[in-house]
Amino acid sequence: MDYTDSEVTAVRLACYLSGFIAPLLSTMMNLSLVNIGEEFGTGSHDLAYINSAFLLASVIFMVPFAKLSDIIGKKMMFIIGLQILVAGCVVASISPSFWWIIIGRAIIGVGAASMATVSISLLTDVVPKEHRGSAMGYQTMFIYMGLALGPAIGGTLNDLIGWRLLFLLPIPLAVASILILKFRFKTDIATDRDGILDTRGSVLYGLAVLFSMAGVMNLPNTWAIVSLVAGLILLVLFVRSQRNNEHCILDISLFRIWAFSGSCIATFMSYAASFSVSFFMALYLQSIGQLSATQAGLLMIVQPVIQCFFTPFVGKLTDRLEKKAVLPTLGMIITGIGILTLIFYNMNTTLETVMVTMLLIGFGFALFSAPNTTLIMSSVPKTHTSEASGMMAVMRQTGMMVSMGIAMLFISTIMGSMDNLGPDTYGLFLEVMKYSFSVCFVMCIVGAVTSAVRGTPKKF
């Protein structure tokens, strides 16, 4: 179906706004954790649940929401997701206790799951194929803008208006996105109107994600190992439940398409290798580097700024290249070189070296993200774009959690806890970084090889 220029513009604008909102909410609250902890008397361990609740809830609902969007319509699912996100923001802003914030953040994660899966699918369906790479480039740019501006906006406004009002800031953008899509995009896209949501499969998938990710993020505790094993068993049961299932929430046969499965593996490896960089750099710069939070933030913002600047150009370049896998493969290699530098950080590493690291990782990600997204969405038939979008989002989010799980594993085994970070433990902290980024570098190599051999998508 062909869409008018007005409809294409409406979809692009609504998706770009939603792409900015979710990462903004993800990172904006990081500099408010201290204030939240002081208000509710909460320690650092429980404060970590503020981000974990968001990530877990989003991953749990991504695959079911992708299937549901094919049944009720992608426009409808997108609007519902924005409404859920607004509700979560309101709940978090009026929280009478700490655990109400966790509930609010989980609700926000559910809404973000809808936007993360449906927005890419909508862009794929509506934007002409010859402009798809450009659209993915701008979508990725807005995501990076949210990640980059989140800490700066959150840190500044936290001191001016308090953490509660911070939750209300994205609501006008969400409302604008709803109105644009509702009144400027008249049609809806539903590839399976007569379909039925597989509730049993959805529950199995949700439990598999919950148990496995809870295990990964809390290793090496005994209960975490048990949880991880239980999650993997549930994942096997979920895969079995989807075979020969007329109403499956995920068509397992898609993974037989090597261009699709290879792209998914590359996505997972990319985020699993790089997501913990900002976590370690914030600690390194403020402890060993002796920088203030503001100085560290200004230095670290180099990476997302580079990503924001180059991503749209890379997206347009993707549209003109026949061998689209070249760019994401090169991006993974450059990201790997940036991560390799982190292995050799010591007590005397210069700020110039840190700058080079941020530039390499930022440019590598700019080369990787938009072309890889274009390859994933081009590798499946149009009837499966929702599932492809959902799986890509799942790979991204689980990669993030695994990245933090690797960091927490080495912190627990080498340092015991981050609460004792100080001059006496700086050597141990550098050892944690060395081992963590050694694993991350290996994942970059795996991702680069997978990206290089994934093949060219068939023309659907």
pLDDT digits (tens, 9 = 90+) for 277-295: 887 887 888 789 888 766 7
pTM of the model: 0.82
Predicted pLDDT of residue 45: 62
Please name the residue that has the structure tokens 């220029």: 5
- What integer pLDDT is reported at residue 84 of this predicted model? 95
Say yes or no to pLDDT of 460 above 60: no
Residue 61 has what pLDDT?
92
pLDDT for residue 456: 67
Give the 3-state secondary structure percentages of the chain, helix then strand then coil, rounded to 5. 80, 0, 20
> Which tokens in the block code for residue 383?
């009837």
CA separation (Å) from 65 to 7, 133, 205, 267? 23, 24, 12, 20
**Coil, helix or strand for 245?**
coil
Q: Name the DSSP class of 420.
A: G
User: Could you report the per-residue pLDDT of 207-217, keeping only the tens digit for each?
Assistant: 999 999 888 87
pLDDT category of residue 12 using cuts at 50, 70 and 90 = very high
R_g over Cα of the chain: 21
- Name the token pair of 144: 């990076």
pLDDT tens-digit map of 129-141: 888 888 888 888 8
Query: For all residues of the chain together, what is the average pLDDT?
Result: 86
- Residues 6 or more apart whose CB falls under 8 angstroms from that of 158 comprise 31, 32, 35, 166
Annotate 267-278 with DSSP letters as a single string.
Answer: HHHHHHHHTTHH
Name the token pair of 84. Answer: 């859920």
Give how far the C-alpha of residue 93 lies from the chain's centroid of Cα atoms, to the nearest Å: 23
Tens-place pLDDT, residues 64-106:
998 899 899 999 999 999 999 999 999 999 999 999 999 999 9
Residue with tokens 């979560």: 88
Please count the other Cβ atoms lying within 10 Å of the Cβ belonging to residue 215: 21
Please say whether the beta carbons of 389 and 374 come within 8 A: no
pLDDT of residue 313: 87
pLDDT band at 200 (very low <50, low <70, confident <90, very high): very high
pLDDT digit string, tens, across residues 381-408: 877 888 888 888 888 888 888 888 888 8
